Structure 1
Amino acid sequence: MRITQTALHGLLRRPLVPSPSLIRPRSLLTLAIETSCDDTSVAVLELRQHDSSGRTFAQLHFHKKITCDSSKFRGIHPIAAHESHQENLASLVAEAITHIPNSTTKRASGETLNSRQIPDFISVTRGPGMRANLFTGVDTAKGLAVAWQKPLIGVHHMQAHALTPRLESALRFRETAGTGSHDQSSEAIENIHVEPQYPFLSMLVSGGHTLLVHSAALTHHEIVASTLDIPLGDCLDKIARIVLPPAVLEEANSSMYGAVMEEFVFPRDRHDDTPDIPPKATSDSGLAASEYVDMYKTRYTYLVPDNNEQALRRNASKWGWSVNEPLTKASGGIKNKSLTMSFSGLSTGVEKIMKYERDPQTNKLTKIGRQIDRISIEERKDLAEFSMRVAFEHIASRVVLGLQQHPAETVVVAGGVASNYYLRYILASMLCARGYGDVKVVFPRPNLCCDNAAMIGWTGMEMYLEGARDRLDIRAVSKWPLSQLLSPPDDKLTGPKMI
């Protein structure tokens, strides 16, 4: 395909208000790229109408990711992650192209021709994230947009996490309705009926972010609460590196040590036939918090404390140490009603428990170092479980406070930490105990909780249908507040526009 100077100029200066034929096609196909951190991911996602119901559904023709092996660094190493993107992205894109569906055309002579479709647009994570890593994906996406002469959509990473349940809703509809034949008429995609409907609350928890977000519309996401220091995922990884036995860390096949810690404390019983994804949660409406608790109450022995004093007594272990919820008390008084979160003190406290002996008389920490190799597996498991419980109660309490200020029928939990089933159970239990048992709780399937290109493609779909387009001279954005979704702060351009 030869690109003329006129065509290239048109791509560089594409109008920000697209024609109606571009906004309302009968089907949409995108190739999506995600490189914000240490996961290199590419997806081919299609959105179209089902012939019998008229409902739109999504189909993943290709979805794959390669995670940088940072185990020897005991955490994500920026340079190693960047090199991994450079080594793997091109091959993933090449593989994805082979999975793009064919299109069939007929010549006037009656001859039928089959050829590979060209995606309607390219979706790519623009930010926030590690700037060099983001540029790897953004520059690759620009190249594809130029080669195919198609629009480019730069996606906000956290917006994509928040919209993941809507992607899953569209994927589920195809799975339950069957593939069947699809509408090939001139009728266009008008309204995407997916769940949850706006408004809803999202708790976005990962190694890079911990945010409670009120989503009122596609481009209107208000941050209700955030962490004062480190993200929850980072906290859990730090605690895991401290608490887990060296042999467990060495056997871990990834640097997601928080997930390793969950398996260490709650190893899955091969006789446990309780499904990871509850059957009723596969419907569009999701699962009420009370239903979720009933289904999983045999897996965990957890009760929500009635008050702060009860929580403090329960958090005192038989080993002499205590792990208490962050921001419970401060010099200014009780802080457990504040819409803020903090996790650095929790990881520091656990480190001290593992590092120093306790005075048997006062039960206070001394400056005498503990012999780490003599700390029993049982105590390590208790400390890991106490730490997770306290951290999860902390964010669950903020979800309750968020619902009090921003009533919603649905709470979404997304991001890498959302794949932790103990978190899911504690949140559902807290909602029930505080009078929100009817609120729907939505947890995306584990492979969609972590960073992935499918969620980037879906968000690109929704933004494309609302008229967003990006110019080819956009840059990656390392810091991008959700409140500035349409106008990235360090971009010299105006960002995507909505019609």
Structure 2
Amino acid sequence: MRILGIETSCDETGVAIYDDEKGLLSHQLYSQVKLHADYGGVVPELASRDHVKKTIPLVKEALKEANLTSADIDGIAYTAGPGLVGALLVGATIGRSIAYAWDVPAVPVHHMEGHLLAPMLEDNPPPFPFIALLVSGGHTMIVEVKAIGEYQILGESIDDAAGEAFDKTAKLMGLDYPGGPLLSRLAEKGTPGRFKFPRPMTDRPGLDMSFSGLKTFAANTISGNDNDEQTRADIAYAFQEAVCATLAIKCKRALQQTGMKRIVIAGGVSANKQLRLELEALAKKVGGEVYYPRTEFCTDNGAMIAYAGMQRLKNGETSGLGVKAQPRWPIDQLEPIA
């Protein structure tokens, strides 16, 4: 079975083709970073219009890369949510229309389930069950995963997502958009121990998180110190250290609560080197393992949607002739795969 996946939930247009026997056959991605850079963040209307321009050309490129034609495709998977409603509608309507034209089924895919299953694209995929830390610009949550579709949210951010906090703090430091990766690179030059940021909500029980206070703490630290390059690097180091340590503490509690040993990290922030080091150290202490996708599949991409869509189509799920776009869609509302 070969599935063409389409991802248009925010500011990246991704198209990929996945074969259940041969694996990933092609992967095309277009980022809108330059389009939104002048505005310091994603402009939903511009994002939607750009998806309209880029999706069909990327579908053609994905077919060309895989040396396939439309007759070789057995189904279409598209991101139905969560995300920006206009952007979702572009991918959903294009995906459903292509499926109708090619006479194949279409299936709506949950964006965060796509991220959660992205490590399955690797040579050493994680076996079930495991704890998943999903960290991106829009979501931060810890999920107990027993099987595909069997998800229980154990904790999540009550305000800013971790990636959002990275981007907002980077903006306070005068870094360009998107600031999260730039802040992480600046932190590599930082001096450990010069600044100490709090670990929010770690002094109380539970697995919920909060990152908006770290942004405020960073703003006060920036305004109270010189703006030389080393000071900025030291603040970036302390901020990143606090976010990663907080996430690691919450993951440790999740492992203790569930008795599990395996951790999956996915989403854009899962590419952060410091976070990977923190969780690898945690896994080593508890005799467990950490799994994550390669860097290019940490951010939004069509490959994860194609893979997740394949699992759903094999389970007999389709959208019929309808088009589904659900900007708010809790992951624990998904049906388990039989």
Partners of 1:166 and 1:100 in 2: CA distance:
20
Q: Does 1:121 align with 2:43?
A: no
Structure 1 position 408, deviation (Å): 2.2
2:63 matched to which residue of 1? 97
Structure 1 position 322, deviation (Å): 4.0
Which amino acid in the other structure matches residue 47 of structure 1? D
Partners of 1:431 and 1:33 in 2: CA distance:
34
Structure 1 position 465, deviation (Å): 1.9
From the two aligned structures, give the one with the greater helix fraction.
Answer: 2
Q: Does 1:476 align with 2:328?
A: no
1:342-401 per-residue CA deviation (whole Å, 9 max, x = no partner) reads: 00000011112223x4xxxxxxxxxxxx7xxx5211111111100000111101101000
Partners of 2:81 and 2:100 in 1: CA distance:
21
Structure 1 position 100, deviation (Å): 4.4
SS in 1 for 2:101: helix
Aligned match of 1:39 in 5, 8, 12? Answer: 12
Q: Does 1:77 align with 2:50?
A: no
Contact 2:14 2:27 in 1 (8 A): no
1:66 matched to which residue of 2? 31
2:163 matched to which residue of 1? 233
Aligned match of 1:326 in 200, 204, 212? Answer: 200
Instruction: Give the direction of change, closer, same or farther, for the CA distance of 1:423–1:62 in structure 2 (3 Å limit).
Output: closer
Percent identical: 31
Contact 1:32 1:42 in 2 (8 A): yes
Instruction: Give the direction of change, closer, same or farther, for the CA distance of 1:236–1:390 in structure 2 (3 Å limit).
Output: same
Instruction: Give the direction of change, closer, same or farther, for the CA distance of 1:414–1:168 in structure 2 (3 Å limit).
Output: same
SS in 1 for 2:10: coil
Instruction: Give the direction of change, closer, same or farther, for the CA distance of 1:382–1:45 in structure 2 (3 Å limit).
Output: same
Which amino acid in the other structure matches residue 11 of structure 2? D
Partners of 1:156 and 1:39 in 2: CA distance:
16
Structure 1 position 90, deviation (Å): 2.0
Q: Does 1:421 align with 2:295?
A: no
Contact 1:66 1:88 in 2 (8 A): no
Which amino acid in the other structure matches residue 472 of structure 1? L
Q: Does 1:215 align with 2:145?
A: yes
Partners of 1:479 and 1:204 in 2: CA distance:
16
1:414-457 per-residue CA deviation (whole Å, 9 max, x = no partner) reads: 0000111011112222444xx41x21111211001100000000
Contact 1:219 1:485 in 2 (8 A): yes
Partners of 1:165 and 1:228 in 2: CA distance:
26
Structure 1 position 413, deviation (Å): 0.6
> Which residues of structure 1 form unaligned runs of 5+?
1-27, 49-56, 103-114, 173-194, 268-299, 303-313, 329-333, 358-369, 487-496
Q: TM-score, normalised by structure 2?
A: 0.93
1:42-101 per-residue CA deviation (whole Å, 9 max, x = no partner) reads: 1122221xxxxxxxx413234333334211111222222122212211221222233344
Contact 2:191 2:233 in 1 (8 A): no
Q: How does 1:277-316 map to 2 (within 5 A)?
A: none
1:447-474 per-residue CA deviation (whole Å, 9 max, x = no partner) reads: 0110000000001111222222222213
Partners of 2:94 and 2:242 in 1: CA distance:
42
Contact 1:236 1:257 in 2 (8 A): yes
Aligned match of 1:399 in 251, 256, 264? Answer: 251
SS in 2 for 1:61: strand
Contact 2:6 2:91 in 1 (8 A): yes
Partners of 1:116 and 1:128 in 2: CA distance:
28
Partners of 2:282 and 2:236 in 1: CA distance:
20
Partners of 1:79 and 1:348 in 2: CA distance:
29
Higher-Rg structure is: 1
Partners of 1:30 and 1:60 in 2: CA distance:
10
> Which residues of structure 2 form unaligned runs of 5+?
none
2:179 matched to which residue of 1? 257
2:2 matched to which residue of 1? 29
2:261 matched to which residue of 1? 409
Matched pairs, number: 337
1:85-138 per-residue CA deviation (whole Å, 9 max, x = no partner) reads: 122112212222333445xxxxxxxxxxxx763310001001111111000000
Which amino acid in the other structure matches residue 81 of structure 2? G
1:215-261 per-residue CA deviation (whole Å, 9 max, x = no partner) reads: 11111111111001010000011111112xx4xx3xx5xx3311111
Partners of 1:99 and 1:143 in 2: CA distance:
22
Q: TM-score, normalised by structure 1?
A: 0.64
